[in-house]
Chains A and B, each alone.
Chain A
Amino acid sequence: MVTRRSLNVLILFFVPCFASAQPKYSDPDSPEVQAAARAALPHAKIVDIGGKVVTIVGVTSGIQSVLQDLNAKVTAHEVKIDLDADVLFDFDKYSLRSEAAESLREVGEVAKSYGNSPVLIEGHTDGKGAHPYNMTLSDKRAAAVKSWLLENAGVSASRITTRGWGETKPIAPNTKPDGSDKPVGRQKNRRVEITIHTS
């Protein structure tokens, strides 16, 4: 039973403990925040976008705009595209959602623009669930993406290899340092990576 006195003691204990967890700035209307903003002005980042408009116009035609849409990483040897598995698939499923079509259509355009270059499709899950289950799920998801590209984008089957890695290759922590769940990290880990080897 928590008495009023013990409750007060707990309040006095917890408030200082968590006070330091507040964000540095929390009230946009406070004089402190406004003063900090004024002090930051000499170092403000302002860029001229006049010159960039020409560049953007240039890349909106052709495959460059598609690469940009997909946030693809293009190097001398490969094109790498990461797709959010939550966009492609429903939770715990490996059948593609209708919303996946737009991204996959763009992936297909990119793949076809690179002739006969091999395409590697790799599925990844987050850290939840049993390892065998995650391996199977990621494998089937990679295969589903392959099937879509074959059937809807006309990418040749002989070019495509699939692989499921389950939860074994995370790109973000699945848990916080205290061991509790970190949904943001797990979301990043649920993904399908598509690599086109261009040389």
Chain B
Amino acid sequence: MALIALVALPIAPFGPIYAAPPAAEQAGVIQTQETNVEGVVGELTECRRSEGVLTIKVRFRNNSNKRETLTFIHGNSDNDFPMYYVTAGNKKYFVLKDAEGTVLSINSTGAGSGVEAHLDPGKTYLWWGKYPAPPADVKKINFMMPVIVPFENVPITDK
């Protein structure tokens, strides 16, 4: 059994990402929204501004009694990531990319490989992304992503 687990875990980033165990020590939930998958909710747990970077974390939780799947990247992150954005005032902020064009967020490991989260009942999956932070006088943001109802008026924590 130990061997099977060892081999299976590293393969996951090629395609599906398997859910982490429920995090009993999870940070406080700022806002919860529904997804289009019955029984699966998203909990925004962090909206932190630091050194000009805004970090957003959303923990997806399967409250249903059956296994559910969420697809975050369908194969090409360039197509999908423009749909994961922050708005504040009259600005729209897109996820940061490094010099090689890799998004500073959950990302796949190879061309054409998507990212899915397979959530067994009661399990969670953490989505995160790094964005350019709005100016210091902006205290709340809205966050949009395809799989879930928008998070609106989310307070920014400065650290």
Kindly specify which of A9-17, A128-136, A140-148, A157-165 makes contact with the partner chain.
A9-17
Complexed CA–CA distance, A14 and B55 (Å):
33
B10 pairs with A18, CB closer than 8 A: yes
Q: Does A22 contact B (CB under 8 A)?
A: yes
- The residue that B2 contacts in the complex, of A7, A22, A28, A185, with Cβ under 8 A, is A7
Q: Considering the chains assembled together, what is the distance between the CA atoms of A25 and B95 in angstroms?
A: 13
> For the side of the interface on A, what is the size category?
35 or more
How many interface residues does B have (CB within 8 Å)? 44
The number of residue pairs between A and B whose CB atoms lie closer than 8 Å in the complex comes to: 107
Q: Are A22 and B109 in contact (CB under 8 A)?
A: yes
- Interface-facing stretch out of B60-68, B99-107, B145-153: B99-107
Binding site for A on B (CB under 8 A): 2-3, 6-7, 10-11, 13-15, 50-53, 55, 57, 71, 74-75, 87, 90-94, 96-99, 102, 104-109, 112-114, 116, 128-132
A-B contact pairs, 16 of them (CB 8 A): A10-B3, A14-B6, A23-B109, A24-B109, A28-B128, A34-B50, A36-B98, A36-B104, A36-B130, A38-B53, A40-B96, A45-B93, A47-B94, A49-B90, A184-B74, A185-B75
